[in-house]
Structure 1
Amino acid sequence: MDAPHDVVIIGSGFGGIGMAARLLAAGVRDVVVLEKAAGLGGTWRDNTYPGAACDVPSHLYSFSFARKTDWSRRFPPQEEILAYLWDVAREHGVLPHIRFRTEVTGARFDGRAAVWRVATAGGGELAARVLVSACGQLNRPALPQIEGRDRFAGTSFHSARWDHGADLAGRRVAVIGTGASAIQIVPEIAPRAGRLTVFQRSAPYVIDKPDRPYRAWEKALLTAVPALHDLSRARVYLSYEARALGFVKFPWLMKPLERRFRRNLRSQVPDPRLRARLVPDYPMGCKRILLSDDYYPALRRHGVELVTDPITRITPTGVRTARAAYDVDVIIYATGFHADGFLAPMTIVGRDGRTLDAAWRGGARAHLGITVSGFPNLFLLYGPYTNLGHNSIIYMLESQIRYVLGCVRALRETGLAWIDVRPDVQDAFDRRMQELMRSTVWAAGCSSWYQTADGKVVNNWPGFTFAYRRATRRPDPRHFRARRARPATPVRAVPG
């Protein structure tokens, strides 16, 4: 087993790369990033389906400390985001600290030594004074529990595990799901498929996507005058942040956005019967709002059919509903992710042998979405209550990264072995989140991945992102219990 490392980070997506980069910049050299895959990138490595792109403008969907002025488009495509992450890792010295093909199976807090014992697949183990989970919320594909799914004789795969060897040309293809991935996939494969059947359980709100390529002179100007890039970033941030009022405080303010949706639908779907099936039956914003200019036109193509009858089972030859059978050659499951497990399927054991699963029975809880009582020196990035419906998650991640840096600095400066958020502080935060959640559009009665099985919303931040940044400006010593380090095991962290 290695000697204890200062910080071990699990995952190399935006959270893991950003955390490692800021630690290294602050002088923490003993940083290890554990990545189960052969390459970095998280969700932008895994989701390589046709049309994969971000729905947040590129100037804001990037780190403030790693400016990129030559994005190809206003909304960046998957391959460009992945290349950006590789560039950040290289330029900020993170790559030598990543151990690829190293899957974490669990971690146990050793109170006597004040370290985390991190277990990896194959029987390896590392020790960490500080453990940071940067696994994200959308990394475990969810396959629907449909009778007969395993008996399908054709080709089938989840959108996040795209089978690039599957030839869709002239084939009968079924896409199950109409969420964020499906609305990007359908327009891309519709021209190639011989017949495309889209199975919709719940209609999404789809509004226009003001995307365009950046001109060469624009990119040159942004590079020559960095202040213009900062101004563009600020403008996008403010325009998106203004929508928070409708999401978290006054849902009736979503009405103008709903009118925009209806105008978009009317202009792109003239058939009133098809249009009626594409109107959601829940308040706008209760589920994720989607952006696309080509999804509705794709549904109007010859050979494309939208099915809204519930699926009853999968047969060896296709998909069956109560009314009809659809023979297909390929089934694509665009059915989202298991979003409420956070660190699953890892087994995390804190003080007194308590597991994180036990602590989170009834829903995930973490103070500021970052620290969990009973799990000292464990920090979560993109944890509960930190997802957004209106702005860039990178902004939220940078707030969390700064908070974790503050905790690492405190460990060194005060000579502490560990800090552990007090249970009453965590409980008060959770109660406050649930109080605020009652006025949000996410609590308006629909079912979404933002919720636990019993309907509790635990994924989203019920406020402004600048309020979250203020709340995470620095750790409050009054929020923590602590133990001093033994002289034999000094804590190394950010130099003072």
Structure 2
Amino acid sequence: MSVTELAHKSHTDPSQFRISYEDAVQVLGPDPSIPKDDTLPTLYSKSEIAIIGGGFSGMVAALTCNKMNTKQSRDFVIFDKHANFGGTWFANTYPGCASDIPALWYSFSQELNNNWSELRPPQYEMEEYMLQVAQKHGLERHSHFRTVITRAVYSDENSNWTVTARNLATGQRIVHTSKILISGQGQLVTPNQLKAKGLENFKGVYMHSAIWNHEVSFKNKKVVVVGNGCSAAQVVPELLRKYEVESIHQIARTKHYIMPPLPPITYLLYQLASYSRYTLYLMRLIVASVAECRWPLYKGDGILARMVRWVNTRKSVNYMKTAPEKYHHLLIPDYKVGCKRLIFDYRYIPSLHDPRMHLTGHEIDHITENSVVLSDGTELEADIIVACTGYNINKSLSTFELIGRNGVDARKVWNDDGITAYKTVMIRDCPNFFLIAGPNCATGHSSVELACENCAAYFERIAPKILSGAYKSVCVKTKAYYNWFNEIQGELKNAVFGTPFGGCYSWYASDSYNPTTYPYSQIFYWWDMRHPKWDDFDVETDPNYLSQDSKLKQS
């Protein structure tokens, strides 16, 4: 564990720390395009480990490979469709974009930063931090950017993976072979575009918050923001503060529990702790522990759960009541707290007092050339429409074809049986394949970076056997895979995450199951991922390795 210190170059020129609009449209837009040019020679390469994704998940996997510190573990390659590290922190650049979890906790545990500009720093500062960590650990020399994976196939004969990719600049085909394959591409990948009648006729500017065009001027413009979730709660106040808009009409599609900002003393304590990596780590543990105290509200209806739920509900409702009274019926939910993702506020509730701000709960009926018409007949003039409509989580988890042993199509398995991964990490019939921040790793109160490190800890305990040659392959048993799925889905039915018990519908869950959230506490998650149950694995040994090992012991 070491300490990182930022130069804060990103505050001088944020544009150097974000994706270009053209690249964002190409890979994240409603019609993403992957060029193909088979007149160019196919590039062949190989490594011990291949990592898909260069965001938090992929970087945690890479740092873990370095940490294992063997010749085999350091032989890894990272593929990412973007032009640099960062993942969602490189691609999501909308105004106000920031971590809603304190950065002291939303950062690599082995690289704590001692000079965050605020508790929840802006996107460009988070990206600067990730680039600095990547440079410090030499991850650039392992990386292939602007490269999108289209297919991954496991060889039963050779016990390895072959991934097929395309260079997004040239269309050149790339074929890479590895003993271990890691997918760390995350869940906030595929934007949910606004679906409204007549949108194609709109003469103004339309953009999704995940594909922000910084060339568009908002000065003196009438803006309609669709959605009122986490991204909207960051976009709206920033447009009012810095973009000189004429007006904002926000369409609140659902209600959310909005928590007040952390008290200023929290940042002061962080500054006092920043002189040493030990005190920084202690501060991190304190922040994590306080957040974990919120866990009981998510599950069950016992005395402790009801008490924690009541405390957090009161805290949220009292804060939301500081908004103009005319908006209370649009803001305050009637379901259990935690059923939808909590919004940890910074400036949104205060921004509702701005006279340029208007909040409505009516749905969109249709869109004309110059306006948005609501279901009650109200016509909102619009120069710009901003869709804060979230992501397609299920689609984000399976962006490439994945063919496991005996030709099993993993995407078909997920389509037929439901999206899941054993312990959030392993898929049936996919030997030597690991997910970082895969299905059911999310929470409503914790840091996803912790989930990434938990998954990497699981990988770290299994991979050495494969890399050393002791095991040709390790795969979760089909029975254990489905037992896990049934176990966690049973547990999640008693949780608040988008269930009848919780009293709402949310992106956490579909009508039949929940592929998103973790059913237990983060303390249990941390412990469980560091103690694999080897009886749940199909292990293929290498007779040649056993023979060599016996000879070494005899000698």
Q: Tell me, in whole angstroms, the C-alpha distance in 2 between the residues paired with 1:148 and 1:392.
A: 39
Q: Judging changes above 3 Å, is the alpha-carbon distance between structure 1 residues 409 and 465 closer, same or farther for their aligned structure 2 residues?
A: same
Partner residue, 1:461: 518
Match status 1:128 vs 2:178 = yes
Q: Tell me, in whole angstroms, the C-alpha distance in 1 between the residues paired with 2:489 and 2:135.
A: 41
Match status 1:348 vs 2:348 = no
Match status 1:379 vs 2:430 = no
Partner residue, 1:58: 103
Q: Tell me, in whole angstroms, the C-alpha distance in 2 between the residues paired with 1:160 and 1:325.
A: 26
Q: Tell me, in whole angstroms, the C-alpha distance in 1 between the residues paired with 2:543 and 2:248.
A: 65
Counterpart amino acid of residue 332 in structure 2: V
| Secondary structure class of the residue paired with 2:299 | helix
Shift in Å at residue 414 of structure 1? 5.8
The 5 A counterparts of 1:79-478 are 79-121=124-166, 122=171, 123-191=173-241, 192-210=244-262, 212=264, 219=271, 221-250=272-301, 251-252=305-306, 253-269=308-324, 271=325, 273-323=326-376, 324-361=378-415, 362-413=417-468, 415-442=470-497, 443=499, 444-452=502-510, 454-478=511-535
Partner residue, 1:492: none
The answer for unaligned runs of 5 or more in structure 1 is 489-496
Paired residues of 1:14 and 1:41 also in contact (CA < 8 A): yes
Shift in Å at residue 217 of structure 1? 10
Q: Judging changes above 3 Å, is the alpha-carbon distance between structure 1 residues 299 and 409 closer, same or farther for their aligned structure 2 residues?
A: same
Residue correspondences, number: 485
- Tell me which of 48, 73, 80 is aligned to 1:6: 48
Q: Judging changes above 3 Å, is the alpha-carbon distance between structure 1 residues 31 and 435 closer, same or farther for their aligned structure 2 residues?
A: same
Q: Tell me, in whole angstroms, the C-alpha distance in 2 between the residues paired with 1:335 and 1:205.
A: 17
Please give the per-residue CA displacement for 1:312-333, whole angstroms capped at 9, x wherever unaligned: 2222222122222222010111
Q: How does the TM-score come out when normalised to structure 2?
A: 0.83
Paired residues of 2:77 and 2:142 also in contact (CA < 8 A): yes
Shift in Å at residue 222 of structure 1? 3.2
| Secondary structure class of the residue paired with 1:360 | helix
Paired residues of 1:342 and 1:383 also in contact (CA < 8 A): no
Percent of aligned positions that are identical = 27
Shift in Å at residue 248 of structure 1? 2.5
Please give the per-residue CA displacement for 1:222-278, whole angstroms capped at 9, x wherever unaligned: 343332212211111110011111113445231111111221122232x3x322222
Q: Tell me, in whole angstroms, the C-alpha distance in 2 between the residues paired with 1:152 and 1:216.
A: 48
Q: Tell me, in whole angstroms, the C-alpha distance in 1 between the residues paired with 2:454 and 2:106.
A: 14
Q: Tell me, in whole angstroms, the C-alpha distance in 2 between the residues paired with 1:463 and 1:392.
A: 14
Please give the per-residue CA displacement for 1:291-312, whole angstroms capped at 9, x wherever unaligned: 2242122223212211211112
Partner residue, 1:19: 61
Paired residues of 1:4 and 1:115 also in contact (CA < 8 A): no
Paired residues of 1:50 and 1:188 also in contact (CA < 8 A): yes
Match status 1:49 vs 2:91 = no
Shift in Å at residue 175 of structure 1? 0.5
Q: Judging changes above 3 Å, is the alpha-carbon distance between structure 1 residues 248 and 341 closer, same or farther for their aligned structure 2 residues?
A: farther
Q: Judging changes above 3 Å, is the alpha-carbon distance between structure 1 residues 217 and 399 closer, same or farther for their aligned structure 2 residues?
A: closer
Counterpart amino acid of residue 104 in structure 2: H
Shift in Å at residue 476 of structure 1? 2.6
Shift in Å at residue 343 of structure 1? 3.2
Q: Tell me, in whole angstroms, the C-alpha distance in 2 between the residues paired with 1:487 and 1:119.
A: 30
Paired residues of 2:82 and 2:146 also in contact (CA < 8 A): yes
Q: How does the TM-score come out when normalised to structure 1?
A: 0.93
Shift in Å at residue 342 of structure 1? 4.2
Larger relative contact order (Cα-Cα within 8 Å, sequence gap ≥ 6) = 1
Shift in Å at residue 103 of structure 1? 0.8
| Secondary structure class of the residue paired with 2:44 | coil
Q: Tell me, in whole angstroms, the C-alpha distance in 2 between the residues paired with 1:137 and 1:473.
A: 23
Please give the per-residue CA displacement for 1:29-56, whole angstroms capped at 9, x wherever unaligned: 2100001111110111111111111111
Please give the per-residue CA displacement for 1:432-474, whole angstroms capped at 9, x wherever unaligned: 101211221112231111113x341121011111101111113
Shift in Å at residue 95 of structure 1? 1.6
Shift in Å at residue 335 of structure 1? 0.5
Q: Tell me, in whole angstroms, the C-alpha distance in 2 between the residues paired with 1:423 and 1:146.
A: 42
Q: Tell me, in whole angstroms, the C-alpha distance in 2 between the residues paired with 1:216 and 1:242.
A: 22
Q: Tell me, in whole angstroms, the C-alpha distance in 2 between the residues paired with 1:104 and 1:238.
A: 38
Paired residues of 2:222 and 2:384 also in contact (CA < 8 A): yes
Q: Tell me, in whole angstroms, the C-alpha distance in 2 between the residues paired with 1:67 and 1:244.
A: 25
Deviates more, 1:144-153 or 1:358-367: 144-153
Please give the per-residue CA displacement for 1:44-70, whole angstroms capped at 9, x wherever unaligned: 111111111111112111121112121
